[in-house]
């Protein structure tokens, strides 16, 4: 069951839940992985709100403060709620579970398994990913993927309306971590948007770590180089964003075909190319 909500109605809807249903907590998933002003505004207008960076304690921990954030919003955070109607919007949901019980579950959704065995980062905290993905699921699948969620509220693509969905009742809500295998039809529903977000985040990561490398390139060439690096790294068996990002950085440092050189060419085609590649880079750094 779903219903549309206009921008102007959203603050009243969220405040109504907070005030009239004390057994429910209101949460937001904020995309802090890119240059999203929403995260800065959250810290400015809701400094006392409880939050958790979902990359904490994972292989992506070094990216923090760039991370998706799970935050709990209360009635005193009205300024933040109102601001969400005018900027890149978070994803809202309600749950009877406290924030402290949820991080391990949401971390278990960071990666998904594809039909070919790859395990890419799954950016469910982006409405452009989550909204079309949920549309491919039946009710039972949605309840499994969003196990802690009772109501889900996502911004629609026109950014002037929201869609509220009842995922499940509080009686079936839980936060037990578990893996998720993505079926081919589900992947096709948002593949283009997924690839665009992945490339954008790779570029942001490189600007943070190695701005001198990107500054050597004409701005118009940067997306092309990053996409080519993603394609080649994936072709060689790299799945993790951490490894793919390092692969692109190595291409910028040592040339597009560095992976054919001694010390690298024997890494490809193994059972865990991500691990082997990152270990080799660690050896190189130790030797320098």
- pLDDT tens digits for 83-135? 876 656 899 999 999 999 999 999 999 998 887 777 888 889 988 889 888 88
Alpha-carbon gap, residue 285 to 288, rounded angstroms? 5
12 neighbors 43 (Cβ within 8 angstroms): no
pLDDT (0 to 100) of residue 88? 63
Alpha-carbon gap, residue 237 to 1, rounded angstroms? 41
pLDDT (0 to 100) of residue 38? 85
46 neighbors 80 (Cβ within 8 angstroms): yes
Contact residues for 184 (Cβ-Cβ < 8 A; gap 6+): 115
pLDDT (0 to 100) of residue 63? 86
- Hey, how many other C-beta atoms are within 10 angstroms of the C-beta on 11? 17
Q: Phi, psi (5° rounding) for residue 66?
A: -75, 110
Spans of the chain below 70 pLDDT: 1, 35-36, 85-88, 157-159, 188-194, 288
Alpha-carbon gap, residue 98 to 138, rounded angstroms? 26
Contact residues for 267 (Cβ-Cβ < 8 A; gap 6+): 259, 273, 276, 277, 280
pLDDT (0 to 100) of residue 85? 67
Q: Which token pair is 116?
A: 């070919």
Element of type H or E holding 2: strand 2-6
Which runs of consecutive H residues, i.e. helices, occur in the chain? Answer: 10-20, 37-45, 78-83, 103-108, 127-135, 139-145, 184-188, 191-209, 211-214, 222-235, 241-254, 273-287
Radius of gyration of the chain (CA): 20
pLDDT (0 to 100) of residue 192? 66
Nearest to 187, CA basis, from 251, 262, 107, 112: 112
Q: Which residues pair with 113 in a beta bridge?
A: 181
């Amino acid at each position: 069951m779903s219903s549309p909500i206009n921008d102007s109605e959203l603050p009243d809807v969220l405040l109504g839940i907070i005030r009239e249903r004390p057994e429910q907590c209101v949460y937001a998933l904020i995309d802090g992985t890119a240059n999203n002003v929403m995260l800065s505004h959250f810290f400015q207008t809701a400094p006392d709100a409880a939050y958790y960076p979902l990359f904490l304690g994972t292989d992506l921990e070094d990216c923090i403060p760039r991370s998706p954030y799970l935050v709990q919003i209360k009635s005193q955070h009205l300024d933040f709620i109102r601001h969400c109607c005018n900027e890149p919007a978070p994803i809202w949901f309600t749950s009877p579970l406290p924030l402290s019980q949820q991080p391990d579950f949401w971390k278990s959704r960071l990666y998904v398994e594809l039909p070919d065995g790859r395990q890419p980062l799954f950016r469910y905290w982006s409405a452009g990913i989550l909204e079309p993905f949920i549309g491919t699921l039946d009710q039972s699948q949605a309840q499994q993927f969003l196990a802690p969620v009772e109501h889900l509220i996502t911004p629609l693509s026109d950014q002037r309306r929201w869609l509220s969905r009842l995922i499940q009742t509080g009686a079936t809500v839980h936060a037990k971590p578990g893996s998720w295998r993505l079926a081919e039809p589900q992947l096709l529903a948002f593949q283009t948007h997924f690839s665009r977000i992945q490339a954008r985040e790779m570029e942001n990561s490189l600007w943070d770590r190695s701005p001198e490398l990107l500054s050597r390139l004409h701005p118009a060439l940067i997306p092309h180089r990053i996409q080519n690096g993603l394609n080649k790294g994936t072709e060689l068996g790299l799945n993790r964003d951490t490894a793919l990002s390092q692969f692109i950085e190595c291409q910028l440092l040592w040339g597009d075909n560095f992976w054919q050189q001694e010390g690298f060419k024997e890494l490809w085609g193994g059972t865990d190319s991500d691990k082997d590649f990152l270990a080799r880079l660690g050896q190189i750094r130790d030797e320098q």
